[in-house]
Amino acid sequence: MDVGILSYIIFTPMVMAFILMISKADAKMTRNFAFLTGIVILILSFKVFLDFEPVSYMQFIEYHPWIESYGISYYVGIDGFSLVILILIAVLVPSGYLLLWEGRTKGYWISMLLIESGMLGALFSLDLILFYFFWETMVLPVFLIIGMFGHDEKVFSTLKFTIYTISGSLFMFLAILYLGITFHNEFDLWSFQLIDLAKITILSPTEKFWLFWAFMIAFMVKIPLFPFHGWLLETYKNAPTGGVFLLSSFMAKLGVYGVIRFVMPLFPDLFKEYSSFFVWLGLFGLIYFGVAALMQDNIKKMFAYSSASHLGFIVVGVFALNEYAMLGALFLIIAHAMATGGLFLLVGKIHFNLRTFDISKLGGIAKIAPLFTIFFAIFLFSIVGLPGTNGFVAEFMIILGSFKRSISVGIVSATTVIVAASFMFWMFQRAILQETPNDTSKMKDLSYYEVLGLIPIAAVIIIMGVYPDLFTLKIEPTIYYYLHDILKVGI
């Protein structure tokens, strides 16, 4: 059986996790092998990026029958959308390892490897049963990381997150089975491949309606979108730094990816019909979560709401149904994931040194830890969309696309981004810059490992902000195909 580069990318972390699981390697050795695995994935992903042709069709395709009697196959490939998330995972995971370098257990590192495999498998899957398998593969190790290594009410948070996630995914699984049976009824063949299920013509409007929402609920929980955000605050509050890093940087973005990859081609008419609803829901989330973030004194809670606020803006870009907004949404997926991932890792360092998340108990960190402050500022500037960062390019494109959608959407989009700038600069002033009577002398500056881990994240933020064409030229044909050929809307 021929094994392609995507399979090596998917299964290398999983194989390494199982080898380390049965070996006598201690936590330090497990960490070192996990980091080396992340570097291997980064190298392979960089090769995929260089070899990727700027065309609309799937590339690096691998197909192998799995459960042939029911048409279930190992079918993977990559296009411009999945390329964006691949680069995100490839850069952030080894950087995250370096920021989490000390004080983790063997089980922690094994869980991280399994989560990485689950994310990559879900990213490349073109068979919906295969996608669901990898989608659920991510849940168990996240459950373990939060439940075993979290703090305060970690058990409650773990159960809440798991119930929300599994409940949403169950709707999607039932919808996948229904589509597979419908395909069999229409064509007398079994298949769960996305390209085949998109050919179904015998579904009634009522069936399409319920199937559409079954998928959307699963992805709305993962993003999370209002009103399916009930798990967000407690989970982010009680999860360890690595868990929050994974949730905010990757899993939420895979929720958005799932909407684009599966909902758009399976239900193009309903996608267009409900586009206005989701645009305004995204704008509502942007404002609602932004105001909630502004009211927080706990820096971890503030970033949790900030993450949800920006994800609402990404949803606006996806459902605005034009090239500018869609391109901006994909850019913001990378920009937000890298910036918030970096910030959550730095917030973890604050807590490790000062044992607090309260903004009122911080201050004066800029004088004590200048390197920490520089990286913190770069990530914060990307969040608020400062020129020269990828956040600026992303927000500019979404706002431009919002105006193309309608004047009212454009005006609301342009004005609400001020919300993010307000709470971010307010927090930065109080927690990092201003002098304080609080004793923050135990705060340590970044170590060699931490600087090494943060440099790639900061570099991508700036490179994408200064030279966005390096990425846009790769993904524009895919955007054009989805908008013009699948949704049949004007570019």
What averages of pLDDT result for each successive group of 10 residues across the chain (491 residues)? Answer: 82 92 87 92 92 86 88 91 88 86 82 89 92 85 75 74 82 92 91 90 90 91 78 73 74 84 91 90 84 79 80 87 87 85 83 78 81 88 85 87 85 76 77 74 81 88 87 86 82 53
Specify the length of the chain in residues: 491
Please state, in angstroms and rounded to a whole number, the distance separating the CA atoms of residues 99 and 330. 26
Q: Is residue 469 part of a domain?
A: yes
Q: Is residue 184 part of a domain?
A: no
Domains in the chain, number: 1
CA angle 272, 277, 278 (to 5 degrees): 80
Q: Is residue 414 part of a domain?
A: yes
Q: pTM, whole model, 2 decimals?
A: 0.87
Please state, in angstroms and rounded to a whole number, the distance separating the CA atoms of residues 310 and 343. 14
Range of the structural domain that residue 405 is part of: 274-491
Please state, in angstroms and rounded to a whole number, the distance separating the CA atoms of residues 389 and 339. 10
Q: Is residue 66 part of a domain?
A: no
- pLDDT for 214: 92
133 Cβ contact partners less than 8 Å away, ≥ 6 residues apart = 121, 125
- pLDDT for 293: 79
Q: Is residue 431 part of a domain?
A: yes
Q: Is residue 303 part of a domain?
A: yes
Amino acid, res. 175: A
Q: Is residue 155 part of a domain?
A: no
- Tell me the three-class secondary structure of 83-108, residue by residue: HHHHHHHHHHHHHHHHHCCCCCCHHH
Cα–Cα nearest to 282, from 312, 314, 320, 309 = 312
61 Cβ contact partners less than 8 Å away, ≥ 6 residues apart = 4, 75, 76, 77, 126
Q: Is residue 143 part of a domain?
A: no
